[in-house]
Structure 1
Amino acid sequence: MAQPLFPVDQETRQWATFLHLSLLAGLLVPGAGFVLPIVLWQIKKNELPGIDAHGKVVANWIISALIYGVISGMLVFVLVGFPLLGVLGLLTLIFPIIGAIKANEGELWVYPLSIRVFS
């Protein structure tokens, strides 16, 4: 569900791409995938107005993934949680990559299954 934004300059597209890819920082440093995107969003949202929408999409996904992870973790006791955690793991790899590609093209891609806390 890509939404074209107003004409986006190269710097905004670049930082939006970094913002989406920063979700993957948790693969290198535990917890960085939660902190780094929020920090980038807060630092750049006033300087580059187009970043605010991308930051909200990323923050919504972080919150959604945490909720889905907790629910899946509880469902491990009835064995349903194992495949759900596997699917969630794949989605947390795939969604930021698609979001980054779309951001680099100047589009805003709202992650599917994301709970809209920030709009």
Structure 2
Amino acid sequence: MTERSHEESNWATFCHLSALAGYLLPLTYPFSCVLLGNLIGPLIIWLLKKDSYASVNQQGKEALNFQISISIYALAASALIVILIGIPLLIGLAAFNFIMIIIAAVKCKNDKAFRYPLNLRLLK
């Protein structure tokens, strides 16, 4: 694997970190997922930089696929709130998402491609 430029590495890392915007919305996490706060950042960076840098294209698709997957999982867990299992699932999902974003950003910053676990590969 060829070494990426510092700027390319930064943009690829920002693709992952920008998903944390879903946590910054004033609403609680499951509803911010529904409002797609976690998708806006990676989508914007990917659309702007995908043609400039190959790793941003690859890592941007990976980040978007994971955030779409997390949104789907959060919607399913939200439906399970009625039987009281949804709340712990949403808390666990939020923690899993946060940890995976940080791990992906660190790996990406160290010039290693990252593939999220439990990721639905919708964008190819």
TM-score, normalising length from structure 2?
Answer: 0.85
Report the residue type matching 1:71 in the other structure: A
Cα deviation code 1:9-59 (max 9, x no counterpart):
211111111111101122224654321210101100111121111011111
SS at match of 1:107: coil
**Counterpart of 1:91?**
96
2:46–2:60 Cα contact (<8 Å) kept? yes
CA RMSD in angstroms comes to: 1.4
**Counterpart of 1:117?**
122
Report the residue type matching 2:20 in the other structure: L
Give the superposition deviation at 1:111.
1.0
Number of paired residues? 115
1:21 paired residue among 8, 17, 23: 17
TM-score, normalising length from structure 1?
Answer: 0.88
- Alpha-carbon distance between aligned partners in 1 of 2:24 and 2:120, rounded to the nearest angstrom: 26
**Counterpart of 1:8?**
4
Q: Percent of pairs identical after alignment?
A: 34
- Alpha-carbon distance between aligned partners in 1 of 2:98 and 2:111, rounded to the nearest angstrom: 21
Q: Give structure 1 regions of 4+ aligned residues with deviation exceeding 2 angstroms.
A: 26-33
Structure 1: 5+ residue stretches without partners: none
Give the superposition deviation at 1:62.
1.3
Structure 2: 5+ residue stretches without partners: 26-31
- Alpha-carbon distance between aligned partners in 2 of 1:53 and 1:89, rounded to the nearest angstrom: 24
